[in-house]
Structure 1
Amino acid sequence: MAMLKLPYELLMLIARQLESKDLNALLQCHPYLYHSLNNYLYYYNVHHHDASALFWATTAGSDVTLQRLLDAGANVRWELRYWACSKSSPSRIHLRGRAEGIKERPISYAASHGHVEIVAKLLDQGVDINYQDPDSLSLFALAARGGHFDLVRCSLAWAPVN
């Protein structure tokens, strides 16, 4: 029997046995598989990989991926212990080690790459606008460092008045 003729329940049983890279490869084989199992891929990332795709979505500015991860239960206040976008150049992100105890949040990546819509969505989800990265840089500083002055202007409008 061809895999495409299997009932959805059997496809899900197969999907649950695969690692994320294998599941992703399977979904790329055919549009039917992609549409049938793509929501499970997001669920899998959120529940088995600590929503690591959040960092890709916020860096790339993928609103669709961010929304799908949120729908799958992703925690946007989650911190990653490996990357530090404040040490990045415009062309590459500098990797620092786990031993340094560095923690970054997805909003740092969105701000440093100038993704206004992503930052707005993260703030709507309850992310602290006053968050500072491990180098004590605010969202404003990260956006300004990257030359994203539209984001700085919008962020000033979002900032609470004291």
Structure 2
Amino acid sequence: MDLHDEIALIIFHQRPLKPPKVGKCLFTDETRIASAHPLNQRRILLETVNALRIATRGAPARDLTREERDQIVHALDNKKHTKSMSGMSMKLAALGKLIKLRPEQSFTLATANRDAIACDPVRASLSHPDRLGALWSTLDWAAQWEMV
């Protein structure tokens, strides 16, 4: 191998990456799942949606009903793909219309700094029509993790 080939190899070919270490659970001695794991991504999405409260002027905020929560999760899971991955979120106003909030109602998470909820980025990326498309949703968690 001449010097030119050796330099090209160094510059353009990355050495194999080591898998990142995953830490321990805070409550048990079990190893946590990786942050990119589909189950963890699902947990984050459900926690975010479950944290939503509906505030009405002059009344205490209320939790979402199971039906409202399921509608929002379904909408986030099935959002049409955009050109950029940064567009894989839904505005809280659009989610409010979806569950038919009245004009005097709003989500408690709606602030000047937060006006949208992100979709599951792993699901959004791998279910893109140029990648796995609808096949992604038919795979079980183990097969999805193997793909990731």
Q: TM-score range by the shorter chain?
A: under 0.3
Structure with greater helix percent = 1
Q: Based on CA coordinates, which of the two structures has the bigger radius of gyration?
A: 2
Compare relative contact order (CA 8 Å, sep 6+) and give the higher one, 1 or 2. 2
- So what's the TM-score if we normalise by structure 2? 0.25
